[in-house]
Amino acid sequence: MEFLSENWTAGVEILILWIGLYQIYRVFRKTRGARILLGLALLLMVLSSVSLLLDLKVIWWLLYKVLALMAFGLIVIFQPELRNALARLGSSRLFSFSQTQRHEFLDTFADAVGQLSKKRIGALFAFERAISLKDHLETGVELDAVFSPEFALTVFHPKTALHDGGMIIAQNRVAGAGCVFPVSSRELADRSTGLRHRAAIGLTEETDCVAVVVSEETGQISICVDGKLDRGLTEEEFREAMESIFLPKEQNNDEEDVEETLAGEADDADRRGDDLVPD
């Protein structure tokens, strides 16, 4: 009991450190730098154990000095991941549109993807969310167009100048086309995964965007989020997956609740025979 009362702060410290380290591990485990971090940690552990065991003072002193420099090195190595994590922290809503507008847009988009898939026209889309895709926009042609199935079919038609590369969609509008996305160099279970799909994986590994791919070869529809590619979706599955990403359930319920409350108030007002907003 006495031991506990004297050392409970140490327990709290261990718990905080453990949670912190686990969160860092979660953020970085799937990233390009994860292996570098693991390698560095192992090297440090081995070197410090050897220098402690054999009492190698110079090595120990050098390790101590190098650690400070390494902190800066890690910031450089993990710069993209840190940028993403910070952007996610500060992110708010992915679209600043009403539920109905989002619904309409997703409907039109699913329609376009269905047509591209049936016609076997290869396509790659990236939906911008909290992290800006401006850098990637600069690799293609900037546009500011209303999205429609006809527009998508025209852009991705193999004979057009913009068909090569990806289309960026931001705020329900087409922000650009013919954009080159970073290709993932990760080892994939399916070795036949081509460049279009790898570009979707690469971009979603680096940013929080949602990528959609239509395969030219098979007409397969895929969605990619956080570097995870979900392949071979039917049109219906695709529609549902997009809705679950962009129209989350709680949000639906929240807005439904608000609508119900307003409808209830309107009914009460009707019954009372007066207006909600008086003249």
Ligand X SMILES: Nc1ncnc2c1ncn2[C@@H]1O[C@H](COP(=O)(O)OP(=O)(O)OP(=O)(O)O)[C@@H](O)[C@H]1O
> In the complex, what is the shortest distance from the CB of residue 183 to ligand X, in angstroms, rounded to a whole number?
5
Q: Which residue is nearest to ligand X (CB)?
A: 194
From candidates 31, 51, 117, 215, binder to ligand X by CB under 6 A? 215
Residue 125 interacts with ligand X (CB under 6 A): yes or no: no
Which of 186, 194, 227, 235 forms a contact with ligand X (CB under 6 A)?
Answer: 194
Cβ 198 to ligand X, closest distance in Å? 7
Binds ligand X by CB under 6 A, chosen from 102, 116, 216, 221: 216
Q: Does 162 bind ligand X (CB under 6 A)?
A: no
- Shortest CB 182 distance to ligand X, Å: 7
Q: Which of residues 126-155 bind ligand X (CB under 6 A)?
A: none
CB of 125 to ligand X, least distance (A): 10
Task: Return the number of the residue (51 or 210) whose C-beta is nearest ligand X.
Answer: 210
Task: In angstroms, give the least distance from the CB of 184 to ligand X.
Answer: 10
Size of the site for ligand X (CB under 6 A): 16
116 binds ligand X (CB under 6 A): no
Binding residue (CB under 6 A) for ligand X from 102, 129, 197, 239: 197
Least distance CB 193 / ligand X (angstroms):
6
> Which residue pairs, CB below 8 angstroms and at least 24 apart, start in 24-27?
27/81, 27/85
Residues that bind ligand X (CB under 6 A): 122, 124, 164-166, 180-181, 183, 194-197, 199, 215-217
